[in-house]
Structure 1
Amino acid sequence: MRQLTLKIPKGHKEKVQDAIDHFGGKNTIDISSENEDVFMIYLPNEKVNDFLKKIDQFEEPEITLIPRGVITLYPPASEAPDQVADVKPKSSLEIYLGGIQSVGSMFGLIGYSFVAGIIVWIGLFTTTAYLLVAAMLVAPFAGPAMNAALATASGKADLLKSSLKRYAIAIITGIFASFLLTLLFPLTTLTPLMEEVSQVSKFALFLPLVSGFAGAINICQSERDSLVSGAAVGILVAASLAPPVGLIGAGLYMMDWQVVFSSLFRILLQLLGIHLAATLVFYFYGKVTPDGVRFLKGVKKTGLITTMVVILGIGAMMYWQFRQPPFLSKASMNTELAEVLDSELKKIPNIRILNKDVTFNNIQIDNRSIATFEATILKTDTLISSQELEDGIIRHLKQNMEYPYDNVYEVFQIKIVRD
C-alpha cells in the first residue's frame, strides 16, 4: 500500500470518496478545512496511477506521494495476515518518477565512471578477478540503462536522449581512465585476464537480456516484494559492461584492434540487449506506456521506432557474430573444441587423459586464429617412448579431429607424464 495526501478545493468530497472506494483505498482520514478538502489515503500500489488520473477532473489537486510501503490493517482482524501479505508491484507513475529521480548528478556519474575504469584496469593488469567485481559495484551503468528503457516504454524522446547521453559519458569516461593508466604504466602485451575478457561467447546475448529483465523487475516490484537488492541487480547490469570498457583503453594504447573491436561489440550488444528486455518488462509488467502514466504525454511512435531499431541492431550484430567465427565466438568455441579433443584422445589406446584444454589468443596466421590444443597424458605402455607417443597423438588429432570451423590454425601442446 502507498500513502497519499490529497488536497483539493471544496465541493468534491463525495466524488473523491467514491474514487477512493472504487480503487480499493483503506483507512482514509478526512482532515478537511473550511476552504479545502484534505484526505490522507492508503491505496494499493498498482492503483495509485489510476486514482490520480481519476481525480485529475477536479481543480488543480495537490498531491503528496510517499514512495514507501505502508501496512494497513482493517476489520475483520482475522484477515490481517492476508492484508499484510498482499504486496503488489509499484504503480506506473511511481516506476517512472522513481527512474527520473535516480538520475543523480553529472559529477557523480563522471566520478564513479572514472573510479570504475581505474579499478577495472588494476584488476586486468594484476589479473585480480575480484577487482572486476569491485568495479561492477562502482560503475554507474544501471541507472542510464533503466532510464533509457523507461523512455522507450513511455515514448519520451527527451528522456531517451538524456539517458543515452549519460550512457555515452559513463562509458567514455571509463575508457579514458583505462587509457590514461595504460599511458602512465605502459603495457606491451595482454595479461591472461585481458585475453580472457576480450573473448566473446556465442551466448553473449543471454547476459544482457537477463540483466535487463532482472533490473526492470527490481524497479517494478515493491520494496517488500523484492527478493534481491538493487545493488545486486546493478552489479548484474554492470557485469556485462565494466570489464570491456576498461579493456578498450588498454587496447587503444596497444593498438590491438581485435581487442578493441571485440570489446566494442560486447558493449553495444549489452546495451541493446539490456534495453530490449527492460523495455518489455516496463511496458507489459510495469504498465509504463505513453498513455498509462499520469503527467506523461509520451509518443507511441517514439517507443515503436526505438524498439525496432534495437531489434534490428541485435539482429545485425548476431549476423556479424556468427558470420565469421571464431573472432566473436572464442569464449564458447574453446569449450566445443575441448570436447572434440577429448573425444579423439579417448580413441587412442594405452593412454590416460589427465587434463585437456583448448585456448585462443589474438594472434593470427594466414588470417586464421590460433587455437592451442593442450593435453597432459599418462602413458600406460612403457615400451613406447614419450616422443613417439607424442608424435602419434598429434598425428592422430590432425587427421581425425572434425569441427565446423575452417579458419582455425591448430597448435598442439602434448605433455607426456609417467607414474
Structure 2
Amino acid sequence: MRQLQIRVPQGCGQQVVKIAQDYDASNLIQFEAKDPADPVDVVFLHVSNRRVEGLLEALESIENLAVTLIPRGVMPLHPPIAGAPDQVTEVQPLSPIEIFLGGLQSVGSWRGFLGYAALAGVVVWIGLFTNSNFLLIAAMMIAPFAGPAMNVALATARGDKNLLKRSLLRYFSALAVLIAVTACLSLIMQQDMTTPFMVENSQISSVAILLPLAAGASGALNLAQSERSSLVAGASVGMLVAASLAPPAGIIGMSIPLGRWDMIVNGLFLLVLQLFGINVSAAIMFRVFGVRARGARYDRGTRKLFPISLGLTTVGLVALLILQFSDAPNFQRPSQAQRINADIKEVVANSNLAEFVEGNVRFAQPNISDQNTLLVVVYVQSQEGVDLSTEEIRDRLTGAIQAHILQEDFNVIPLVSVTVLETPDFLENSR
C-alpha cells in the first residue's frame, strides 16, 4: 500500500475523496488548510500499489493538483478488526509510475557517478592484476552500472528518446572512465604481461548470454517489486549487473597498453553482448509490469520507439550469437574445453587400458599466430590385467586422444600429456 497526500483548491476535496473511493482507497482523511497564498483542501489516503497510477490519472482533471507520494510501504488497518491479517498480506508490485520514478531516482550526480566508476576501475585493476576474486567482487559492488542499465531499459519500454540518450551517455561515460583508469594503472605500474585472471575472464563461454539476460530481468524485477515483497537487496541486484560489465571493461583497459588485441576483441564482444542482453530482458520485464509509452504524469513516450529499440537490440544480440557460434573456438573456449574434457574421459574408458582419474583442458595464450593451441593434461590409473608397460599405455592414450580431438574438428592443435599413475604396492599386495 502507498500513502498519498493530495492538495487541491478549496472545494475540490470532496471530488478527490469520491475518486479515491472508486479506487478502493482506505483511511481517507479530508481537512481544510491554507498554503502561503490561498485556502486549500488536503486529503490523506492509502491505496494499493497497482492502483496508484490509475488514481493519479483520474485526478489529473482537477486544476492545481499537487500530490506527495510516500515511496514506502505502509500497513493501513481499518474495520473489520478480524480482517487485519488479510489487509497487511496484500502486497503487490509497484505501479508503472513508481517503477519509472524509482529508476530515475537511482541516478546520482555526475561527480559521484564518475567517481564511483573510477574507483571501481582501480579495484578491478587490482583484482585482475593480483588474481584476487574477492577484489573483483568488491569492484562489482561499487561499479555504478546498474542505474544507467535500468534507465536504458526503462527508456526502451517507455519509448522515451530523451531518457534513452541521457542514459546511454552515462552508460558509456562510466565504461570509458573504468577502461581509462585500468589502462593508466597498467602503464604506471609497467605491466608487461597478462595475468591468469585476465586470460580466464577474457574467455567467452557458449552460455555467456545467460548472465546479462538474468541480470537485466533481476534488475527490472527488483525495481518493480514492493520493498516488503522482495527478498533480494537492491545492492545485490546491482552487483549482478556490474558483474556483467566491470570485468570485461577492466580487461579492455589493461590489454590496451599490452597490445593484446585478441583480449581487447574478446572484451569488446563480451561488453556489447552484455549491454544488449541486459536491455532486452529488462525492457521486456518492465513491459510485463505495465510500463507503457503514456501514463499518469508522463506523456513524452513514443509508442513506436519501443518496438524499434527492442527490435534493433534483439537483432544485434542475435548477430552476436551467430558470430559467436560460427567462429569456434575463439568465442566459446571454456565451453569447448569442457566438452573436450568429457570426450577425453570417454576415449580413456573405451580404450580398456586405464581408468580416467582427472583431466585438465585449457586453451593457451595465442603466442603462436593462426593456431588455437589446446593444452591437455590427463591423469589415468593403470588398469588391472593390462599387460602393457606404463610408457606403452601413455603413448597409446596420447595418440587416441589427439586423434579423437582432430577427428571431431574442434579447430585446435592439441598438445597432450598423459601421466599414468601406478597403484601403491601395499594395495596390490592386499588384493
Letter in 2 for 1:3: Q
Match of 2:96 in 1: 92
Match of 1:28 in 2: 28
1:75-122 CA-partner distances (Å, limit 9, x unpaired): 111110111111111111111111111110111111111111111111
Q: Does structure 1 retain, via aligned residues, the 8 Å contact 2:17–2:43?
A: no
Shift in Å, 1:302: 2.0
Match of 2:159 in 1: 155
Match of 1:289 in 2: 292
Shift in Å, 1:248: 0.7
1:47-94 CA-partner distances (Å, limit 9, x unpaired): 111111111101120111110111000111111011111111111111
Map residues 265-344 of structure 1 onto 2, 5 A cutoff: 265-285=269-289, 287-344=290-347
Distance 1:186 1:370 in 2: 28
Letter in 1 for 2:181: A
Distance 2:352 2:393 in 1: 10
Q: Does structure 2 retain, via aligned residues, the 8 Å contact 1:340–1:402?
A: no
- 2:265 paired with 1:237: no
- Mean Cα displacement is larger for which, 397-406 or 386-395? 397-406
Distance 1:27 1:174 in 2: 50
Distance 2:150 2:179 in 1: 21
Shift in Å, 1:300: 1.2
SS in 2 for 1:240: helix
Let me know the Cα RMSD of the aligned residues: 1.7
After the TM superposition, which segments of 4 or more aligned residues of structure 1 sit over 6 Å from their partners? none
Match of 2:6 in 1: 6
Q: Does structure 2 retain, via aligned residues, the 8 Å contact 1:175–1:249?
A: yes
1:179-229 CA-partner distances (Å, limit 9, x unpaired): 111111223332222111010011111111111000000001111011100
* Candidates 94, 115, 121, aligned match of 1:117: 121
Distance 1:414 1:305 in 2: 55
Letter in 2 for 1:40: F
- 2:38 paired with 1:38: no
- Mean Cα displacement is larger for which, 293-302 or 153-162? 293-302
Match of 1:378 in 2: 381
Unmatched tracts of structure 2, length 5 or more: 425-431
Q: Does structure 2 retain, via aligned residues, the 8 Å contact 1:251–1:260?
A: yes
Match of 1:139 in 2: 143
Unmatched tracts of structure 1, length 5 or more: none
Shift in Å, 1:417: 2.5
**Structure 1's 248 and 366: CA in aligned 2 closer, same or farther, altered over 3 A?**
closer
**Structure 1's 317 and 403: CA in aligned 2 closer, same or farther, altered over 3 A?**
farther
Letter in 2 for 1:59: E
1:140-199 CA-partner distances (Å, limit 9, x unpaired): 110000011111111111111111011101111111111111111223332222111010
- 2:269 paired with 1:255: no
Match of 1:18 in 2: 18
Distance 1:143 1:73 in 2: 35
Distance 1:310 1:326 in 2: 25
SS in 2 for 1:356: strand
Shift in Å, 1:344: 0.3
Distance 1:210 1:144 in 2: 17
* Candidates 205, 209, 212, aligned match of 1:205: 209
Match of 1:414 in 2: 418
SS in 1 for 2:8: strand
Q: Does structure 1 retain, via aligned residues, the 8 Å contact 2:329–2:410?
A: no
Match of 1:391 in 2: 395
Distance 2:301 2:341 in 1: 52
SS in 2 for 1:363: coil
1:234-264 CA-partner distances (Å, limit 9, x unpaired): 1111111111111111111111111111111
1:248-307 CA-partner distances (Å, limit 9, x unpaired): 11111111111111111111111111111111111121x111113423321112222211
Shift in Å, 1:402: 6.6
SS in 2 for 1:31: strand
> What is the TM-score of this pair, normalised by structure 2?
0.93
Letter in 1 for 2:377: E
* Candidates 164, 170, 176, aligned match of 2:168: 164
> What is the TM-score of this pair, normalised by structure 1?
0.96
Shift in Å, 1:409: 1.2
SS in 2 for 1:347: helix
State the identity as a percent: 37
Q: Does structure 1 retain, via aligned residues, the 8 Å contact 2:13–2:30?
A: no
